[in-house]
Amino acid sequence: MEDLQLQRNASSYATRLDRTLNALRARVKEQESLLEELRASASSSTSIPQTEPSADPKSHLQYLRALKSAYESLAPSLPWLLPRDSLVPGLLALRDTDRVANGSEEAIAKKEVQLKATQQRLEQEQGDLNDAKLMQAEMEGRISTLEEQINERTQQSPSQIAKEMIRAMKKRKQYYDTETGKLVKAFNAFIDDHLATMLAVEELGGPIVGEVPKVDEDMLEGGFSTQGKPKKMKTSEDKRQRRIDQIWGPRPVEDDDAKEPWDEKRAAAAEMRDLTEELLNSLVDAEGHGPGAYVDLQRESAAARFLVRSKVAQFHPRDARKLRLIDFGGEIDD
């Protein structure tokens, strides 16, 4: 039922549109005919004045009288209007509505872009404001603390201030000693659990540290080939021990775990600890700079290469037998 009604409405609209179009065409033809008649009469008659103003006063007066006569003849007549059922007003309104709608869509798209940019700027400004508020709160807290300390010190004698500073220094030293102990313990655990085996593998000709994520300790018994692959044939215990002594040296006399076997893993771990301790001591003794910060290496070990690859230490620019820790607060090279 609804489809039938829509078809009727569409047919009626098409009929009205054709009728309006025909009326407009007829009106155009009528106006064209009148224009042709006017042109013909103007060309054949000499009594009609010129269409352009003339410099001659008599001709100009005749021109004005002709215009007056034309206006007086047209004034009483009603203008031509479209019939009531014409679709032209609706089409004109639809055209204007479509133009306004398109303009509104373009304006909305531009405003959306502007709104997005404004929102991003607002978020950035809000973040900056929050950071400024946090900084203000921290600065106010710091100022308040300093004011309290100044008030306390102004009420204390120099001896009391000195005792308080000594207590604070001892407290900080105790804290740093505790944290240093934790750091050393974690460092030793990292060497024993992860690094020592990989250092031993690299020292024996295998993959470098970090190239293979997981290393089996059984690889250390047979060693590695010139291509860096584990050897399937295991060496005798005496030959293995001679190889360990040749690379890392014999067991240190001050080794606390004398009951444990002196194998490749323990030797690599001991070498890493000794090298790190020596580098730290030399850096402290040289106050972070100068030639005294370098340590003379007996050989280019896997531990030294690992520290250099990790950007923790560096070789001397002109002597690869010297190594030093990088002073992160100073220059990389001397």
Per-residue pLDDT at 334:
45
What confidence tier does 67 reach under pLDDT thresholds 50, 70, 90?
confident
Per cent of the chain over pLDDT 70 is: 82
Q: What is the mean pLDDT of residues 262-271?
A: 85
Q: What is the mean pLDDT of residues 66-82?
A: 69
Tokens of 145: 């603390």
**Which of 177, 334, 197, 326 lies closest to 268 in space, CA to CA?**
197
In a domain, 296, yes or no: yes
In a domain, 51, yes or no: no
Per-residue pLDDT at 143:
95
229-249 residue pLDDT tens: 777 766 677 787 888 778 787
The residues pairing with 323 across neighbouring beta strands, listed in sequence order, are 295, 315
- Rounded mean pLDDT of the chain? 81
Task: Give residues with Cβ within 8 angstroms of 137, minimum separation 6.
Answer: none
The count of domains in the chain is 1
Strands 295-296 and 313-316: unpaired
174-211 residue pLDDT tens: 999 999 899 999 999 999 888 888 888 888 888 888 88
Phi, psi of 314 (to 5 degrees): -145, 145
Sign of CA dihedral 56, 61, 66, 68: positive
In a domain, 21, yes or no: no
Task: Tell me the three state secondary structure of residue 323.
Answer: strand
What confidence tier does 257 reach under pLDDT thresholds 50, 70, 90?
low
**Angstrom distance (rounded) from CA 331 to CA 334:** 7
138-149 residue pLDDT tens: 999 999 999 988
Phi, psi of 67 (to 5 degrees): -65, -40
What confidence tier does 117 reach under pLDDT thresholds 50, 70, 90?
very high
**Angstrom distance (rounded) from CA 81 to CA 77:** 12
Strands 319-325 and 313-316: antiparallel
Per-residue pLDDT at 46:
47
Per-residue pLDDT at 242:
84
Task: Give residues with Cβ within 8 angstroms of 232, minimum separation 6.
Answer: 222
In a domain, 246, yes or no: yes
Among 9-13, 147-151, 156-160, the range of highest mean pLDDT: 147-151
In a domain, 38, yes or no: no
**Angstrom distance (rounded) from CA 142 to CA 137:** 9
Per-residue pLDDT at 230:
73
Q: Is it the case that residue 223 has pLDDT exceeding 80? A: no
* Residue-by-residue DSSP string for 205-267: TSPPTTTSS---TTHHHH-B-TTSPBPSSPPPHHHHHHHHHHHT-SPPTT-S-TTS---HHHH
Q: Is it the case that residue 109 has pLDDT exceeding 90? A: yes
| Look-up of token digits 């309006």 | 20
Per-residue pLDDT at 99:
92
The residue range of the domain holding 243 is 171-325
Per-residue pLDDT at 137:
95
Sign of CA dihedral 79, 84, 86, 88: positive
**Which of 187, 188, 216, 191 lies closest to 201 in space, CA to CA?**
216
